[in-house]
Amino acid sequence: MGRGKLAAWQLDKKGFTTSAQKFLIWHLFGTSKNVSKPVNLEMIDRYIRQMKQDINPHNLSNFVKAYMNRKDILAELKEKLKCRVLIITSEFSPYKGPGQILHTELNKHRLATKGQDIEIMIGQGSINIFFEDPEKCGEAVLALMQGCGIVPTLRSRSASRGGPMHRTASMCDEDAF
């Protein structure tokens, strides 16, 4: 809690300090103490450079403050949840445990109320799947949306015949025949 407050203050008043960067790295990727997978330092360096370039430190400070002041949503979700849910976490994430607990608790409630499906995706071999393999996250969200009937005609890149750049002739193309 103290490191988060210090990081938020530094981001707000001083910008991207070394200790603020360390806090953000811990928040996003965990630490080597709680991770048995080697950390991809190149990816972390690239992310920090991009964050320094693209994100206003004051806004990031507000995000850190909001994160630290969040309330437990489990009781509220149990009461108000009326749709399918996809929880995405990573095998070596510092948030894997809380994600699994949320999944278990929501599924217990769903079974009791005969509610909507609660799915969990655990990215294998990653610390933060959103940064390490964003395509997997996108495909998981797409599969959830297809399961809900929102986008029944879209196909994922891995499921398409020729990949993202291959275009097949449609019935509307004049030179297709």
Q: What is the pLDDT of residue 172?
A: 39
What residues does each domain of the chain span? 2-68, 74-148
List the chain pLDDT tens, one digit each, 177 residues.
688 888 888 888 988 888 888 888 888 777 644 445 666 778 788 888 888 888 888 888 998 888 888 888 888 888 888 788 889 998 888 889 989 998 998 888 776 656 667 888 998 888 888 888 889 988 888 888 888 788 776 665 555 544 444 444 433 344 443
Q: 0.75 exceeded by the pTM?
A: no
Task: Give residue 177's pLDDT.
Answer: 37
Helix (H) or strand (E) holding 21: helix 18-29
Q: Pick from 173, 117, 131, 156: which is nearest to 39 by CA?
A: 131
Q: How far apart are CA 99 and CA 66, in angstroms?
A: 19
3-state secondary structure of 175: helix
**DSSP characters over 23-75:** HHHHHHH--TTS-SSPP-HHHHHHHHHHHHHHS-HHHHHHHHHHHHT----HH
Helix (H, G, I), strand (E, B) or coil at 86: strand
DSSP 94-139: TTHHHHHHHHHHHHHHHHHHT---EEEEEETT-S-HHHH-HHHHHH
